[in-house]
Amino acid sequence: MKKAWALTKIYINSLYGISGFINSFKTNKKSAFKTIALILLILIGLLGTASAFIIYNIQLYDILRPINQQGIIISNSFIFAAMFTLIFGIVGIIATYFVDKEGDIILSMPLKPWNLLFAKFFTSYLYEAVLSLIIMATGVIVYGVKSGEGLLFYIISFIVSLLIPVIPLVVSYIVIIPLMKVANFLKKKDVVMIISGFIGALFGVVIQLSFQDTMMKMNKNPEVLREIFTFQNGMVSIASRIYPPSTWGTYAIIDISSTRGFTGLMLLLLTAAVAVILLHCFMSEMYLRSLIGSTEVRKSERKMTEKELKMGLRRRNILTSLLLREIRLMNREPIFFLNGPFVIFLIPAILGAMLFIQRDVIAAQLGTILRYNTSSYYSTLIVAGMGAFLGSMSSIASSAISREGKAFMYLKSMPIEPVKYINAKLLHAGIFGVMAGFITCAIGYFLMGVTIGGLMLAFIISQLLMLPSFICGLLLELTWPKLIWDNPQKAVKQNINVVIIIFGGMIFLYGTAAAVYFLLKTPIYGYLVLTIVLAVINVVLYACLISYGRKRFYEIEA
């Protein structure tokens, strides 16, 4: 077990950089305070999203309290946390599967297969546990404050929240390990990793669709309705038919003093422990085999034709060549794709599934909303905000120079104009921004009923909204590029610029939404002011980027 924990510490330090953060307090106070400021920025960025869930749960509690069904708030939070940890767990496992080069170094050490799997599992678990705690807090705090619960309630809630990711994470590994074994066999690791990301996301969405469809069918069952209204927290009992651990965890939180609550906690603990043990017993050997030879590639016997050679060597515009280079770099290293642009496809898939299943309810709500004259105005801006959010989450611009690594020193010595290099980076981010705009416009058209004219406005505004995050991301990259890293994961995951842009972008969108709601209530006036103000901001930021980039490009050192 000591070897497993030692390897776990190596993985955690490699992925999260905890040791570097602790050492910075001793050697570099300025860097440490910068990290603390970054954590505060993350918390502020999450505050807006968490507030929306908290307000929703407060309203739900007030509705359900008179009929003694308020326990469903905890149950909903449990299921929602489990679903999110399942989907993001699958993507996270794929993105970190090969980054530590086990085939070259770690596999040569006297380690057992289960040591390797345990270390990876626990490293992934830490991230999922934090996500679970945040999601559960939005329900637990509302229930605890409104019901006047004591300290024991929050302690049990904390324990249950830590147990939630275990089962979804075990399921994620059961799905991913065979896929990675196929990737190793085919010697097409990069391709299979990207395909596996889509398969994993699809798997999570299918489970979500099945769950919501089952819930809707059960709500139409007379016997289920009778059980809900006959027993206290009958809705919680109904949830056990879909995902039993949610009921165990809910009763453990809201009624730990009873036999039912204590039994639920014990069942949750036992199920989590058994799931982890079975995973390590039956999947460790396959996990090891999937790692052996993971850095090898298969030599292609196919010869390049003369036509292909000419196509590859043909003369191109410098900007076009640099842009194509950016795209190839992203495609060649799937870690970059899975940790950034993949979110543009993942989040709409989840959102689209939720909206599709609840389309009847949403249609009824839209019918009420559309009675108001400003409904189409706000619908258009919601679509624009969704597109801007997706675009700013892609992390392409905010990791643009860091992804170069040590190769940037060679690029700097070549006869490349800094302006064209920067514009290629900006265009690369813009391509995915356009994709995000089209995807959200499709959601707006098919599921929200936004008109074609509204979608055109939404697309334009979304591009103007996300462009500041791209430009600011490049400004940060020019200032603090992370060029020294030993695996591609660190260029994105441990890049302070990425975090600043993601959460800074969220704050910018929240501020824009507040300004629209309180100051720009008239559609024509709102569209005009938004477009002009955002256009001016982008022009000023772009001018600063070019001016700063010309000088800073040659000053960057690895």
User: What radius of gyration, in Å, describes the C-alpha atoms of the chain?
Assistant: 25
DSSP state of 8: H
Cβ-based neighbour number of residue 79 at 10 Å = 23
Q: What is the mean pLDDT of the chain?
A: 79
258 sits in the region (left: phi over 0; alpha: psi -120 to 50; else beta) called beta
Residue 329 predicted with pLDDT over 90: no
Per-residue HEC secondary structure of 499-544 comes to: HHHHHHHHHHHHHHHHHHHHHCCCHHHHHHHHHHHHHHHHHHHHHH
CA angle 61, 389, 496 (to 5 degrees): 105
**Dihedral angle, C-alpha 128, 133, 136, 137, nearest 10 °:** -150
Residue 270 predicted with pLDDT over 50: yes
pLDDT for 45 equals 62
Helix 189-219 vs helix 166-186: angle between axes, to the nearest 10 degrees?
A: 150
Percent of the chain scored above 70 by pLDDT?
A: 72
Of 130, 87, 99, the residue nearest 336 (C-alpha)? 99
pLDDT for 373 equals 46
Domain boundaries, the chain: 2-291, 318-555
DSSP alpha helix (H) spans, 17-67: 18-27, 29-64
pLDDT for 196 equals 64
Percent of the chain scored above 90 by pLDDT?
A: 22
- Buried residues in 127-157 as b, exposed as e (16+ CB within 10 A): bbbebbbbbbbbbbbbbbeeeebeeebeebb
Residue 232 predicted with pLDDT over 80: no
Distance CA(459)–CA(453), nearest Å, equals: 10
Distance CA(84)–CA(87), nearest Å, equals: 5
pLDDT for 25 equals 58
Find the range with the poorest average confidence among 269-273, 370-374, 491-495: 370-374
415 vs 339, more confident: 415
pLDDT for 183 equals 65
pLDDT for 537 equals 95
CA angle 84, 382, 344 (to 5 degrees): 45
**Tokens 């356009």, residue located:** 434
Of 485, 460, 465, 324, the residue nearest 399 (C-alpha)? 485
DSSP alpha helix (H) spans, 187-317: 189-219, 222-230, 234-239, 244-254, 259-291, 306-313
Separation of CA 159 from chain center: 24
Helix 244-254 vs helix 72-95: angle between axes, to the nearest 10 degrees?
A: 130
Q: Dump pLDDT digits (tens) for 9-49.
A: 877 777 666 665 566 556 666 666 666 766 676 666 667 66
Place 365 in a pLDDT band, splitting at 50, 70 and 90.
low
Q: Dump pLDDT digits (tens) for 410-445.
A: 888 888 888 999 999 999 999 999 999 999 898 888
Give the best-scoring range by mean pLDDT among 136-140, 297-301, 401-405, 535-539. Answer: 535-539
Contact 338, 197 (CB under 8 A): yes
Distance CA(11)–CA(43), nearest Å, equals: 25
Helices vs strands, H then E, count in the chain: 24, 0
Of 134, 136, 131, the residue nearest 84 (C-alpha)? 131
405 vs 334, more confident: 405
Return the H-helix or E-strand segment holding 363.
Answer: helix 359-369
* Burial grade of 380 (CB within 10 A; 0-12, 13-18, 19 or more): buried
pLDDT for 211 equals 61
Distance CA(144)–CA(137), nearest Å, equals: 10
One DSSP character per residue, 305-361 reads PHHHHHHHH----HHHHHHHHHHHHHHH-HHHHHTTTHHHHHHHHHHHHHHHHTHHH
pLDDT for 68 equals 77
Find the range with the poorest average confidence among 107-116, 193-202, 266-275, 338-347: 193-202
357 vs 13, more confident: 13
Of 289, 290, 288, the residue nearest 118 (C-alpha)? 288
Distance CA(140)–CA(160), nearest Å, equals: 11
pLDDT for 178 equals 84
Q: Taking the CA atoms of 313, 315, 321 and 324 in sequence, report the sign of the dihedral they define.
A: negative
Q: Dump pLDDT digits (tens) for 81-119.
A: 888 888 777 777 877 776 555 446 677 777 888 888 898
Contact 64, 70 (CB under 8 A): yes
